[in-house]
Chains A and B, each alone.
Chain A
Amino acid sequence: MNSFSYTRADDVATALREVAADGAAKFIAGGTNLIDLMKENVERPSRLIDITRLTLGGIRPRSDGGLRLGALATNTDVAYHKEIERRYPLLSKAILAGASPQLRNMATVGGNLLQRTRCCYFYDTATPCNKRTPGVGCSAIAGFNRAHAILGTSAACIASHPSDMCVALAALEAVVRVTGSVGERVVPFAAFHRLPGDTPNIDTNLQADEIITGVDLPARGFAEHHAYLKIRDRASYAFALVSVAAALEMDGNTITEARLALGGVAHKPWRDPQTETMLHGQSATRENFKRVAEALLRDAKGFGRNRFKIELAKLAIVRALSQASFKEAHS
């Protein structure tokens, strides 16, 4: 790890002031990804501003019936929170499908949103990577890309987003609350992360002088009809090759609303609300699920070793939707 100075912020205003004062400063909370990246020399901050003592923890009810997750609530806090387990089991399951108990004990809501890709070339400073150094080229496109994206890729980057939690939050249409020098604003989850385009170095629409203060969950948690399906190389402690968060509203066997978010396949949790509407008013049948899966993946593109993910994603979507719909029939 490079040398850096360290300060501990006691309130949000101080934290923002400090980060604004130093372009190479970074916030640190759980640190599970940042320290990792610093050890690999991918991140070299001049200063770390420790925000763990800010009062941004906790999980509280909101007046609209939803819940607010504090940015510093740990993954463990959220996953095992009684109200989350009861009302947002999709979120709880997604979190528990990721990382390890130790990492979940440290990792925070805000940090999870800011996780960076696990693309091995991004981590390997000896190889070109546009995300690390814009303009030098992407080693993954013609390289070892088994885990890489198949949707929303660009000629500059095919990295995939590693989070499980964010896939569930995307399906739940959570809202990210951020505070900056100009005040507070809310960002719909779909607008928080970015596709790589020509600027793969920029992961999110969070501004340099902003801090995530929390994530709001809308009142609807899809507790009755949901599924988080994660497909990976081993049963725990591995990033998704493909994951699917499926959330349904149903009336009998008829789907009245469908949400589908995919993980491991794009630079951000992947949603396509237009395509999801194909399911509205339809019955929960494999054929209907297959049609929506085909449609969701119609623009998918493989790059060699990751081609299998296109078929895998389709199969996973059908499976997740079946699971989500199946529950009602048997509960």
Chain B
Amino acid sequence: MKRIITLTVNGEPVEGAVEPNRTLLSFLREDLGLTGAKHGCGLGDCGACTVILDGKPVNSCLVLAVQADGREVLTIEGLADNGKLHPIQEAFIETGAIQCGFCSPGMILSAKALLDESPKPTETEIRTAISGNLCRCTGYQKIVEAILAAAGTAQGKEVS
């Protein structure tokens, strides 16, 4: 039986009717058309479905939509501010941290959650924070560079 859920997605109130066996990922993608979160494995192994739930990155493929009732979700679509890229997004372009781009939304949200908690992370902290986001293209090096650069930006330093 479907249940009505209300939640905040990217700052907007959202209501939906979902079967209990639907995941948050499927609700976002299919009901809200927010396809930025990707289905990479469905088992929490790859991190491509990462969204920020009440401030913390989670695997949306392992969260039931009904469990997100009353909570706040940020997806990649909600990160840019009126078309202006978030500094992490800018840094990803600048450093060339994107290849196929399938892991990028989840990667960026993990990075955002890290920088929200720890604006000046060390490289090790960055690698730990994104260790639940697999990437097969980049070897992570430029992603780490991008996050370091974005952390510089957050302090008013220019992205280089």
Q: Are A101 and B131 interface neighbours, CB within 8 A?
A: yes
A36: B residues at CB distance < 8 A? 43-44, 62
Task: Report if A2 contacts B (CB, 8 A).
Answer: yes
Q: Are A102 and B58 interface neighbours, CB within 8 A?
A: yes
Could you say which of A3-11, A154-162, A186-194, A204-212 contacts chain B? A3-11
CA distance A1 to B129 in the complex (A): 29
Of the listed residues B43, B53, B62, the one surrounded by the most CB atoms of chain A closer than 10 A to its CB is: B62
Q: Which A78-125 residues sit within 8 Å CB-CB of chain B?
A: 96, 99-103, 105-106
Task: Report if B42 contacts A (CB, 8 A).
Answer: yes
Q: Which A19-39 residues sit within 8 Å CB-CB of chain B?
A: 28, 31-32, 35-36, 38-39
A2: B residues at CB distance < 8 A? 21
Q: Are B58 and A106 interface neighbours, CB within 8 A?
A: yes
Using A31-B63, A50-B66, A105-B57 as known contacts, say yes or no to A1 and B47 having CB atoms under 8 A apart: no
Over the window 68-91 of chain B, the binary record of Cβ atoms lying under 8 Å from chain A Cβ atoms (1 yes, 0 no) is 000000000000000000000000
Interface contacts (Cβ under 8 Å), in number, total 82
Minimum distance in angstroms from B116 CB to a CB of chain A: 13
Residue from B53, B62, B113 within 8 A of A31 (CB atoms)? B62
B3: A residues at CB distance < 8 A? 6
Minimum distance in angstroms from A36 CB to a CB of chain B: 5
Q: Are A101 and B132 interface neighbours, CB within 8 A?
A: yes
A52: B residues at CB distance < 8 A? 67
Minimum distance in angstroms from B40 CB to a CB of chain A: 12
Residue from A4, A8, A99, A235 within 8 A of B21 (CB atoms)? A4
Which secondary structure dominates where chain A touches chain B? mixed
Q: Are B59 and A106 interface neighbours, CB within 8 A?
A: yes
A76: B residues at CB distance < 8 A? 56
Minimum distance in angstroms from B46 CB to a CB of chain A: 10
Q: Are A28 and B59 interface neighbours, CB within 8 A?
A: no
Of the listed residues A101, A102, A106, the one surrounded by the most CB atoms of chain B closer than 10 A to its CB is: A102
Residue from B20, B61, B131 within 8 A of A6 (CB atoms)? B20
A103: B residues at CB distance < 8 A? 44, 59, 62, 132
Task: Report if B110 contacts A (CB, 8 A).
Answer: yes
Q: Are A35 and B1 interface neighbours, CB within 8 A?
A: no
Minimum distance in angstroms from A291 CB to a CB of chain B: 36
Q: Are A35 and B50 interface neighbours, CB within 8 A?
A: no
Task: Report if B159 contacts A (CB, 8 A).
Answer: no
Q: Are A3 and B19 interface neighbours, CB within 8 A?
A: yes
Task: Report if A215 contacts B (CB, 8 A).
Answer: no
Q: Are A48 and B20 interface neighbours, CB within 8 A?
A: yes
B21: A residues at CB distance < 8 A? 1-4, 38
Task: Report if A237 contacts B (CB, 8 A).
Answer: yes
Task: Report if B122 contacts A (CB, 8 A).
Answer: no
